[in-house]
Amino acid sequence: MIDPTSQYRTLEDLELDGKRVLVRVDFNVPLEGGEVANDNRIRSALPTINYLTENGAKVILTSHLGRPGGEVQEDLRLDPVGKRLGELVETKVTKLDDCIGPEVEAELEELESGEIALLENTRFHPGEKANDEEFYGQLADLADVFVSDAFGMVHRKHSSNYGVATKLPAAAGKLILQEIEGLTPAVESPEHPFVAIIGGKKASSKIGALWDMVERVDKFLIGGALAFTFLHAQGHIVGDSLIEESMVNEVRDFLDKVSDDRKTEVMLPEDAKVSQEFSEEGEVRTVDAKKIPPDWMGIDIGPATIEKYSNEIESAKTLVWAGPLGGFELQPFQAGTREVAEAVADSSGYRIIGGGETGAAITQFGLADQMDHVSTGGGACLGFLRGKELPALEILKVNS
pLDDT in tens, 233-255: 999 999 999 999 999 999 999 99
Q: Do 107 and 223 belong together in one domain?
A: no
Which residues are catalytic, by number? Answer: 41, 202, 356, 379
The pLDDT value recorded for residue 44 is: 95
The pTM of this model reads 0.91
Q: Do 215 and 307 belong together in one domain?
A: yes
pLDDT digit string (tens) for 260-304? 888 899 999 999 999 999 999 999 999 999 999 999 999 999 999
Q: Do 100 and 208 belong together in one domain?
A: no
Domains contained in the chain, number:
2
- Per-residue pLDDT averaged across 377-392, rounded? 91
Instruction: Count the residues in the chain.
Output: 400
User: What CATH number corresponds to the domain at position 113?
Assistant: 3.40.50.1260
Q: Do 153 and 235 belong together in one domain?
A: no
Residue 21 included in any domain:
yes
- Residue among 314, 319, 375 at smallest CA distance from 198: 319
What is the rounded (10 degree) CA torsion for 213, 216, 217, 222?
Answer: 10
Pair 327, 333: CB distance under 8 Å: yes
Boundaries of domain holding 69: 11-177
CA 26 to mean position of chain CA atoms: 10
Whether the per-residue pLDDT at 1 is higher than 80: the answer is: no
Measured over the CA atoms of residue 333, residue 337, residue 338 and residue 339, the dihedral's sign is positive
The pLDDT value recorded for residue 197 is: 97
Q: Do 145 and 207 belong together in one domain?
A: no
Q: Do 152 and 223 belong together in one domain?
A: no
Pair 21, 60: CB distance under 8 Å: yes
Q: Do 163 and 230 belong together in one domain?
A: no
